Amino acid sequence: MTLGDAPPAVRSPIPANAGQAWVERLAASECPALTTRRKRRAERTGANHDPIVWVEAQGSNVVDADGNRYVDLTSGFGVAFIGHRHPTVVEAIKKQADVLLHTLGDLYPSSVKIELLERLCALSPWPQARAMLSLSGADAVTAALKTAVMATGRPGIVAFQGGYHGLSYGPLAVSGFAERFRAPFVRQLNSHVRFVRWPDTDDVDRALRSLPDDWSEIGALIVEPVQGRAGVRVPPPAFLNELGERCRRQGAVLIADEIFTGLGRCGAWWRSVREELDPDVICVGKALGGGLPVSACIAREEVMRAWGDPEREAIHTGTFYGDPLGAAAALATLDVIEKQGLVALSEERGAAFARSLEQASLQGVSEIRHAGTMLGLQLDAELGALRVTRALLERGYLVLPAGEHADVLQLVPPVTLRQSQFDGFVDVLGRVLETTL
């Protein structure tokens, strides 16, 4: 079986000699916070948490420095939605690299950047849209937050407990996933953010009534259509629509963070639109570049027009925003998603994967949540996901812990993952749960 569609093959301890040598070099050069995190996890779970070091990936498979092969159910934090190293994307990158690597950004853009902007605006849910390109999801959220204050003149933002929007300063201020992320920097963050419970529109109303002038200082509300890092928390059907109605009544900009959920991951181009949220701004990233760092903030034209004062300089830009390689990779990725019908396939395969999990009657799993190929398994044991993810890694499966208490297994496989690969995972998962929890 070719690399990409193959089952796991773990033939040595992880990490073994080659991998351990890389880990030691890593510990001597990376920020100590990351090494400390792994040590802390080992102390809390009683298991080794040294990482594997990737050297190759294709389709749904990853190969480490020791030659072990894994089935990737993380798709690299959701980036490899169409699979690792998709040949169409690789070909587009090579072709672009032969002619143009860099331009003068917004001053003298490349033709491929303009094509990507046009493509993203055409994919938007609005008749007229404008977009700003950047590199990371956090960049896209930063652009969205800036757009909201430009459009409304109001500094206040409503955000959700459990929401995760990135860790640079603007996004960190509205990320309610864990207080510990914000605590060291809180004095430097936007103090006009109001966190409300998820998913609770009544709490939105209560929080706003506590303000002196109700909605008057609130310029934006930011929401993930499905909370990913918090544990694949899917809101009830009417929740997102009700949020949209509140924002429209009060003139606040509604930002849909589709960085994780968009581009087909949840069975629709835009999960927010499918659930009738009717956003004003959409943030997209992760899967957009097919493996390269590309993101975008897309907005209604009337909202983005707030940037259009001709007397102003370009007050939001970046040297590598809209770089030719990233733009070419993104255009190729969008081609693959459209031409191969991967949005519908994500809905179909996600439902099949969820059925496989439900039929397995997994010990220690109290709930299975999914939206397309974004799945979350709620475990009964706090910190259980840390132990289970390591045990699965040792058996050749890459999954991620999620939830504030590390009690959710997050599965976001490439949409190209075979049912046979997933069935093998479910079988191993059942045995791991019985011996680990």
For 120-176, the pLDDT digits (tens) are 999 999 999 999 999 999 999 999 999 999 999 999 999 999 999 999 999 999 999
User: What contacts 401, CB < 8 A, 6 or more positions away?
Assistant: 385, 386, 388, 389, 408, 409, 410
- In degrees and rounded to multiples of 5, residue 20 shows phi and psi of -65, -35
Q: How far apart are CA 67 and CA 389, in angstroms?
A: 20
Q: Is the pLDDT of residue 312 over 70?
A: no
Q: Is the pLDDT of residue 290 over 90?
A: yes
Tell me the pLDDT of the chain averaged across its residues: 94
User: What residues pair up with 221 in beta bridges, in sequence order?
Assistant: 158, 254
Q: Is the pLDDT of residue 242 over 80?
A: yes
Which range, of 10-14, 137-141, 359-363, 412-416, averages the lowest pLDDT?
Answer: 10-14
- Split at pLDDT 50, 70, 90, the class of 311 is low
pLDDT digits (tens, 9 = 90+) for 336-374: 999 999 999 999 999 999 999 999 999 999 999 999 999
Q: How far apart are CA 129 and CA 125, in angstroms?
A: 8
Q: Is the dihedral of CA 313, 317, 318, 323 positive or negative?
A: negative
Chain centroid, CA 306 distance in Å: 28
Question: Strands 374-379, 408-411: parallel, antiparallel or unpaired by DSSP?
Answer: antiparallel
Chain centroid, CA 229 distance in Å: 8
User: What contacts 366, CB < 8 A, 6 or more positions away?
Assistant: 378, 379, 380
Q: How many CA atoms lie within 13 A of 256 on its CB side?
A: 30
Give the per-residue pLDDT at 320: 97
Give the per-residue pLDDT at 29: 92
Q: Is the pLDDT of residue 310 over 70?
A: no
Q: Is the pLDDT of residue 39 over 90?
A: no
Q: Is the pTM of this model over 0.85?
A: yes
Give the per-residue pLDDT at 48: 76
Tell me which of 36 and 375 has the higher pLDDT.
Answer: 375
Domains observed in the chain: 17-72+341-436 (3.90.1150.10), 87-339 (3.40.640.10)
Placement of tokens 């928390």 in the chain: 233
pLDDT digits (tens, 9 = 90+) for 166-191: 999 999 999 999 899 999 999 999 99
Secondary structure of residue 118 in the 3-state scheme: helix
What is the mean pLDDT of the segment spanning 251-277? 97
Give the per-residue pLDDT at 249: 87
Q: How far apart are CA 240 and CA 275, in angstroms?
A: 7
pLDDT digits (tens, 9 = 90+) for 63-111: 999 999 999 999 999 999 999 999 999 999 999 999 999 999 889 999 9
CA dihedral angle for residue 264, residue 267, residue 268, residue 269, rounded to 10 degrees? 0
Contact 207, 244 (CB under 8 A): no
Above pLDDT 90, what percent of the chain? 87
